[in-house]
Structure 1
């Protein structure tokens, strides 16, 4: 009996231990299943929430962002969280578990404009990398680098040509000649102005020399400098823009632009975007902008029509931004054309002969060098007007001129306005207006392109129906959410999950 009793007690003890293990295992499995169900609920909730991305941003700009206003006018995180919770709750009710959210919220979130726009920048650059591939990026980088170097030097040469006070020196010499002529007349005390037969006389008005003079070989020629001086006082847009196409008069208020207002900030969370200032990334971002923003040749349908020009000019109206671009193009072409004139012996000989003729006609032979410099500037400017006019007409202009691609003759400069369209010609191997825009954009800093690019995207979305209060600093790129969920056993589970479009 004692032996049987001891066996019963032993089995009872072993069974109680086994039951405890089974019970603990069941509780552990149940807890794991509960946690898994909560995690699934969070994942499904975040996926469903971020599936409500802004359709306009995706369709027009290939960007994924969640509208943080949830249909309102201001960033509304409470509404965003309620939306998330509405997707979590049905999952928690599955399998007959009595799971209930006690509390929850966002422990971090990133907005498109966070980190000085780096979030927006990263998404645009990532899209371009996926689209072009590594090989396409390298080809684009090489091509743009070559064009940038040539046009940058040309613009510097153009500024140097303009800043040399060439025309001021010319005016000074002509005025001196005029004053000497008057002094001689007073000393001679003659009653009538001696008529010149074309060899040694000149009339002046307001400091400008008369156009006509003799070239020393009894052939009448014309001084083109006064004509160009008058043309240079005209509006550059009147000279280069096709009258039939016209110019946009759109003007908008910039006070509520991303680059002008105080923007909202997100809440720090792990995995923040690191600053990327590499040349390849900047070039990809610029390509992104030029592919999606309007310009003079392909105007945007909303907001400012010349959006790429806005990045260069930063003014509130299309006309002003276009004028800034036109002036820069004239400067670039003037540098290129002046360099060619200096390198062409035949054209230098023409300018030298003409300068000597003008100097002799005005009895100021020592001024021939200054006159020749003025002729070079005027000839380069006249050629540049035709170049830029061709660009605005949709044609192409060679980066470097040759005798075959040169358009304006020295004799035709005084009649430039009469032959603006008959003299200009395109060159299929040259650069178009949009090519020049890309090169000009490379002179702008990353911050300028980023801020002004966001300005244009934001204002374009605002003109869509029902989107007049759209703001990029209300667009969410990533969220970190945390919830406390209670079970039927009054145990509370805390779960934290992240989701990001990148």
Structure 2
């Protein structure tokens, strides 16, 4: 019996295209699976590396950065790449390096060929704005956006009030020098001036306004800090929407520093300088030198403010004029009466500024500009200013010592302030276990990496990924 072969021929004709379609679909599925596996491995590796942020930096300052030195004190992009390679290799083959009788089937057999990091942002990049941006974000997160803005705006009003006072801080000293010249021209010895002794002890300013035994004598090795050494440089700011340039953002950064850093009226932090805010402002090599700078600047303003007020108050002038009239009559020098009167008024203003400074350093408040009710130093107190310039024991009204630091921070050079703030972070972190060589210019916030991978099917895949603590890409 004979059979026709038409069906066999038909199957033969369609078998080739059917198999071609099946093979193409299989190959496409294999390629997609391989690519998906590579992308997942790269994503997991990047997330794992970013999970290695410095824990102490987060705990103390609410900042997220990868310490690329990994505790060695020598920042290295290669070390960061090694960590990424390890994570990618493990994610491509979790069973690699393990002993197992049964290994999971892997139809892709992907392997990492090479890895490169082409972009990286360090905390010190863009004149410290990478660090500054995170600090502002941390301040907003801890206080809420509206709360952070309210605090910053309140600080801004203090700065405006300070600037509106329009005081010439050098005017009292120029006036005093002018009066001394006038008196010398009248053959009147300054030593005979009853107020001359008031200005004698100004060189030992700290001893004049506080018990120097309470002042920290710690030295600061600034040469090892980021503001003084050659630093590693990345590729600048990447991603994120936090503003770092506006006056409001600058005020929020200042508030962050005042929250996280200690000053003379606070409890000192461990590891760094005792007076961290004062260091940020003046950058001297010891706590005492920084505090002296702060006190001198404070007294300079208080002296100008008190002198401006006292020359406008007839109630203050009257007793001085009466005393001077008697003195010049006894000395037979009536032509010196006006000069001595003004000199004593300046001395009285100086005594009041000492009293103001003592109260501020004791944690009390002093009004920016005085009224008669706010004046504390009596005229007879000039006999011994140090014994009469004492805290009142009440909080008072007006500005605190920290408020003056708040004002001076806003007026400070932005870049210098930012780098000195990073100095403080470095000093404090280096005092913690495992961070002896900590460097802010080795702390990464953003990374762009390219991973080249190979498959046994001869696929060459390149996966590009970027990640930042400040934004999602």
Fold shared per TM-score above 0.5: yes
Find the counterpart in structure 2 of residue 353 from structure 1.
322
Find the counterpart in structure 1 of residue 114 from structure 2.
103
Alignment of 1:21-36 (within 5 A): 21-36=21-36
Q: Which of 226, 229, 233 matches 2:196?
A: 226
Equivalent residues of 1:295, 1:307 under 8 A apart: yes
Find the counterpart in structure 1 of residue 338 from structure 2.
369
1:189-216, Cα deviation, whole Å (9 max, x unpaired):
xxxxxxxxxxxxxxx6xx4116xxxxxx
Of 273-282 and 64-73, deviating more is 273-282
Aligned residues: 456
Offset of residue 402 of structure 1 = 2.4
Find the counterpart in structure 1 of residue 226 from structure 2.
258
Equivalent residues of 1:171, 1:208 under 8 A apart: no
TM-score (norm 2): 0.89
Structure 2: gaps of 5 or more residues: 95-104
**Is 1:399 matched with 2:368?**
yes
Larger radius of gyration: 1
**Is 1:293 matched with 2:261?**
yes
CA distance in 2, matches of 1:431, 1:272: 36
Equivalent residues of 1:309, 1:321 under 8 A apart: yes
Equivalent residues of 1:118, 1:275 under 8 A apart: no
Structure 1: gaps of 5 or more residues: 180-203, 211-222
Find the counterpart in structure 2 of residue 314 from structure 1.
283
Offset of residue 278 of structure 1 = 0.8
Q: Which of 440, 445, 460 matches 1:492?
A: 460
CA distance in 2, matches of 1:458, 1:424: 38
Find the counterpart in structure 2 of residue 115 from structure 1.
126
Equivalent residues of 1:250, 1:317 under 8 A apart: yes
The root-mean-square deviation of aligned C-alpha atoms, in Å, is 2.5
Equivalent residues of 1:107, 1:269 under 8 A apart: no
CA distance in 2, matches of 1:153, 1:111: 39
CA distance in 1, matches of 2:211, 2:366: 16
Equivalent residues of 2:209, 2:386 under 8 A apart: no
Equivalent residues of 1:69, 1:76 under 8 A apart: yes
Equivalent residues of 2:220, 2:285 under 8 A apart: yes
1:202-252, Cα deviation, whole Å (9 max, x unpaired):
xx6xx4116xxxxxxxxxxxx3x12313243x4110121245x61111112
3-state SS of paired residue (1:496): strand
Alignment of 1:68-83 (within 5 A): 68-83=68-83
Find the counterpart in structure 1 of residue 50 from structure 2.
50
Equivalent residues of 2:186, 2:336 under 8 A apart: no
Find the counterpart in structure 1 of residue 216 from structure 2.
248
1:432-480, Cα deviation, whole Å (9 max, x unpaired):
2112211121110211210110111112212223422111111111111
Q: Which of 150, 156, 177 matches 2:167?
A: 156
Q: Which of 176, 180, 192 matches 1:171?
A: 180
The 1:356/1:455 distance shift into structure 2, 3 A limit, reads same
Equivalent residues of 2:73, 2:435 under 8 A apart: no
